[in-house]
Structure 1
Amino acid sequence: MVEENQNEMNGQQGLDGVEVNQLLTGTVSRVDEKQALIDVGYKYDGILPISEVSSLHIEKVADVLSEGQEIQVKVIRLDQEKDEMIVSKRAVDAEKAWDELAGKFESGEVFEATIADNVKGGLVVDLGVRGFIPASHVERHFVEDFSDYKGRTLSVKVIELDKEKNKVILSHRAVLEDEADKQKQTVLDKLEPGSVIEGTVQRLTDFGAFVDVGGVDGLVHISEIAWNHVDKPSDVLKEGDKVNVKILKVDKENERISLSIKATLPGPWEQATQDFKIGDVVQGTVKRLVSFGAFVEVAPGVEGLVHISQIANRHIGTPDEVLKEGEEVSVKILDFNPEEERMSLSIREVQDEKQKQETKKEVAAYQAEESNANGMGVTIGDRMGDLLKKFKS
């Protein structure tokens, strides 16, 4: 009985002083398809089964190990009768990995991981334990096909860790979002209200356009797109357009930027100084009728007043006796003050001028007719006689 107990103790201690759970450093002496032999300095090599090589599934041992490579292994089983020592590389890697991952999870450390495989729902990495990057945590944008990620190295951080369940969840998207947030703060610190910079239209909505100004999106409200009225931003802009924008306001706390495109363009009255001068006759649209006259738009954002006395060449009591809103009219510019954004217009003078021109044409036609008639020996009396005959008949 004493001898059996002694043999049992010797078995627990292992052959040649080797014990189960002991860590050994050795050299790969032979690589077979499903196992490797590890020379750990004892009278026989340790056997490393393919299932104990890696935390991930591998097809053959040579995918991970090569002869002459030095590795650390853990003794997981001893067999005295067969003189076998079964060792595990996976157990050593996992023990180290859990300690390291716990520290990285606590600190939020970003580290590099090489993609070992793509599986349904995401990507797999070998960290000494199996790490998983869910599809929704690979990029900030949707990725349809992950096949080209195998072999790539991504910066990741641990977002979930559970040793008991052997769960390690990683995220590359979280790293990208952190970088974007830092970039956003850098940009926000540099942006100065009043400055003009170039941006790219990223997205159009019913109420305006979001423009990228260096990694941060700012809003150009629909009222700030153009000087003239805009029904829909898509009528004027499209995604990808390069535009100059003026920074109106920067709210660093709420990360909001207000931008204007129209503020970078010549104002309507500034442009009007190049397009109009006193005495010009131009087309306009009646925008509003008031008791003392009518406001007529002669260019987007440029309205002039037609005083009631300048609406018609006859007396009228109210502008709506002659005009209606939306009507197209010809007006003459009587006075123009772009600094004060004022313009005085006249419909009556256009009508008077038109009447004068028609009268001149009638007189010229009559004179030409008289000249022709005199050349044929026909007198005014003769012509009057002809007219009387026509009248009587």
Structure 2
Amino acid sequence: MSEEMNEMENRDFQTGDRVKGIVTNIEEKAVTVTIEGAPFDGVIPISELSSLHIEKASDSVQVGDELDLVITKVEDENFVLSKRKVDAEQAWDELEKKFASGEIIESEVKDVVKGGLVVDLGVRGFVPASLVEDYFVESFEDYKGKVMTFKIVEMEKENNRLILSHRAVVELEKESQKEEVMDTIHAGDVLKGKVQRIASFGAFVDIGGVDGLVHISQLSHEHVEKVSDVVTEGQEVTVKVLSVDRDSERISLSIKDTLPGPWDAIEEKAPKGSVHDGKVKRIVSYGAFVEVLPGVEGLVHISQIAHKHIATPNEVLSEGQEVQVKVLEVNKADKRLSLSIKELQEKEKEQDYSNYEMPEESSGFSISDVIGDKLKGFKSE
């Protein structure tokens, strides 16, 4: 027998010793291992197999596995061992280095518990619900078994406390993506985006890792009262980049500029001679502006308002009034329409007295003179 074998057999095993054990038997709540050089086997209680809760010992180890263990108790012809403590001690050393460097860790979600997720990193890592994503998650059921990336945000070895964040990784990725997008987009670019958030003054649109603002005035060619009347959160939209301020990281966008203008194809929509229902939008001294199509106004000159002479348009029209107009002229280049109201109205017939001969003043006349013989033949009763 070699000198090394003799030393192994004569070794005095004590509590706290680190040993290697080979799994020989697995029961539901314990595992039996043989320890090289030990006079008897050791037992690992299920609670000492993993830093996480497990239902069966076979969920953690298999027969034939070689394990790094620490003796926690020496009993008569038996050792009580712990795999969990060795794993934790090794893990804490590695985790402290990763925490200091800000390294991103990849691991599987082992369990979903009230308030967050549980990850096994040699020690139990907890991901609070608020640190899972950068948006609200209603249910975490689908996260169990999912491999995710994390950053350590808090750790206390003495209290066995390890707090992780996937949200921090997402935000880091978005920040990097944002810088890249800011460097590549320019005013005039037309891009696809998704409406992320709606405010009273406009809509924020994600254009690939960075949000730009579509001001309410840039949503439509028509006047918009409420942003939600035009777009909804999650909606896919096409936008044009109006400006990029890299210092303040602000991007101004327009949906309106990607849409056909109200004056496009105006010759087909309102050709000369066509008749339209419209609304008086503004009254000026020389006429009235009438909206005949969304975003398209034409001028009814004061001379085209009525057949009779009027001193001001207000004598006949009022703002908001519904009117019918006829298109007299179309000028697409200057975005002008000449309209008429009076051409759709009948001219009042004026009685012509030119051929009517009045009796001479000197002769005098009576009703009977005018009616003549029509009174003859009538007898009083």
TM over 0.5, shorter chain: yes
- Counterpart of 2:73? 77
Cα distance change, pair 167–222 in 1 and its aligned pair in 2 (3 A):
same
Residue 134 (structure 1) shift: 1.3
- Counterpart of 1:99? 93
Residue 308 (structure 1) shift: 2.4
2:263 partner SS: helix
- Counterpart of 2:45? 49
Q: Is contact 2:33-2:42 (8 Å) kept?
A: yes
1:139 partner SS: coil
Q: d(CA) in 2 for partners of 1:71 and 1:338?
A: 85
- Counterpart of 2:33? 38
Q: Give the TM-score normalised by the residue count of structure 1.
A: 0.78
Residue 72 (structure 1) shift: 0.9
Larger fraction in helix: 1
Q: Which structure 2 residues correspond to residues 309-348 of structure 1 after superposition, within 5 A?
A: 309-348=303-342
1:182 partner SS: helix
Letter in structure 1 aligned against 2:175 = D
Cα distance change, pair 149–305 in 1 and its aligned pair in 2 (3 A):
closer
* Cα offsets for 1:290-344 (capped at 9, x unmatched): 2222222222222222232332223222221121111222333333322222333
Residue 244 (structure 1) shift: 2.3
Counterpart pick for 1:16 among 11, 18, 41: 11
Residue 131 (structure 1) aligned with residue 101 (structure 2): no
- Counterpart of 2:55? 59
Letter in structure 2 aligned against 1:221 = H
* Cα offsets for 1:339-366 (capped at 9, x unmatched): 2223333333443xx439x99xxxxxxx
Residue 28 (structure 1) aligned with residue 23 (structure 2): yes
- Counterpart of 1:172? 166
1:65 partner SS: coil
Letter in structure 1 aligned against 2:144 = K
Residue 69 (structure 1) shift: 0.3
Q: d(CA) in 2 for partners of 1:59 and 1:333?
A: 84
Cα distance change, pair 116–198 in 1 and its aligned pair in 2 (3 A):
closer
Q: d(CA) in 2 for partners of 1:273 and 1:298?
A: 13
Residue 114 (structure 1) shift: 2.2
Q: d(CA) in 1 for partners of 2:339 and 2:137?
A: 61
Q: d(CA) in 2 for partners of 1:350 and 1:77?
A: 107
Q: d(CA) in 2 for partners of 1:51 and 1:277?
A: 86
Residue 209 (structure 1) aligned with residue 217 (structure 2): no
Q: Is contact 2:244-2:250 (8 Å) kept?
A: yes
Q: d(CA) in 1 for partners of 2:264 and 2:125?
A: 63
- Counterpart of 1:355? 347
Identity of counterpart residues, as a percentage? 53
- Counterpart of 1:368? none
Counterpart pick for 2:81 among 70, 79, 87: 87
- Counterpart of 2:367? none
1:269 partner SS: coil
Q: d(CA) in 1 for partners of 2:207 and 2:28?
A: 56
Residue 256 (structure 1) aligned with residue 258 (structure 2): no
- Counterpart of 1:265? 259
* Cα offsets for 1:100-142 (capped at 9, x unmatched): 1111111221112222222222222222211111122223333
Residue 158 (structure 1) shift: 0.9
Q: Give the TM-score normalised by the residue count of structure 2.
A: 0.80
Residue 230 (structure 1) shift: 2.0
- Counterpart of 1:11? none
* Cα offsets for 1:34-70 (capped at 9, x unmatched): 3323323113233323332222233332221222101
Q: d(CA) in 2 for partners of 1:350 and 1:151?
A: 75
Q: Which structure 2 residues correspond to residues 213-224 of structure 1 after superposition, within 5 A?
A: 213-224=207-218
Residue 240 (structure 1) shift: 4.3
Q: d(CA) in 2 for partners of 1:296 and 1:40?
A: 97
Q: Is contact 2:307-2:347 (8 Å) kept?
A: no
Q: Which 5+ residue runs of structure 2 have no aligned equivalent?
A: 1-8, 351-370
Q: d(CA) in 2 for partners of 1:149 and 1:49?
A: 29
RMSD between aligned alpha carbons?
2.8
Cα distance change, pair 102–323 in 1 and its aligned pair in 2 (3 A):
same
Counterpart pick for 1:275 among 245, 269, 273: 269
Cα distance change, pair 271–244 in 1 and its aligned pair in 2 (3 A):
farther
Letter in structure 2 aligned against 1:34 = K
Q: Is contact 2:125-2:162 (8 Å) kept?
A: yes
Residue 176 (structure 1) shift: 2.2
Residue 294 (structure 1) aligned with residue 252 (structure 2): no
Q: d(CA) in 2 for partners of 1:32 and 1:330?
A: 92
The alignment of Structure 1 onto Structure 2 pairs a total of residues equal to 345
Q: d(CA) in 1 for partners of 2:329 and 2:201?
A: 37
1:270 partner SS: coil
